Structure 1
Amino acid sequence: MKTLGQKIRERREELDLSLREFAKKLNCSPPFISDVEHGRRFPSEPMLEEMARLLKLDVAEIKRHDQRAPLDEIKRMTEQDPGYAFAFRTLVDKKLTPEQLLELVNRSKPSPKGGKK
Structure 2
Amino acid sequence: MIETYGQLIHAARQHHDPPMTAKAFADKIDVKPPFVTDLEKGRRLPSLETQKKIKEVLACDEYPELLFDDLAAISNSDSRVVAEDISTFVRKSAAIRNLIRAIQDRHLTAKEIDMIASNIGGTDHDAK
Scaled to the shorter chain, the TM-score interval is: 0.5 to 0.7
Instruction: Name the residue aligned to 1:59.
Output: 68
CA deviation profile, 1:26-74 (whole Å, cap 9, x unmatched)? 122111111111111111110111111111131347542262143774x
Whole-Å Cα distance in 1 between the matches of residues 108 and 28 of structure 2? 45
TM-score by length of 2: 0.55
Equivalents in 2 of 1:20, 1:81: separation in Å? 39
Q: Equivalent residues in 2 for 1:28-107 (5 A)?
A: 28-56=31-59, 57-60=66-69, 63=72, 64-65=74-75, 67=78, 68-70=80-82, 73=90, 79=98, 85=103, 89-91=107-109
Gaps of 5+ in 2: 60-65, 111-120, 124-128
Q: So what's the TM-score if we normalise by structure 1?
A: 0.59
Contact 1:36 1:42 in 2 (8 A): yes
Compute the RMSD of aligned alpha carbons.
Answer: 3.9
SS in 2 for 1:48: helix
Identity %: 25
Rounded Cα–Cα distance in structure 2 between residues aligned with 1:27 and 1:115:
38
**What SS does the aligned partner of 1:89 have?**
coil
Q: How many residues align?
A: 99
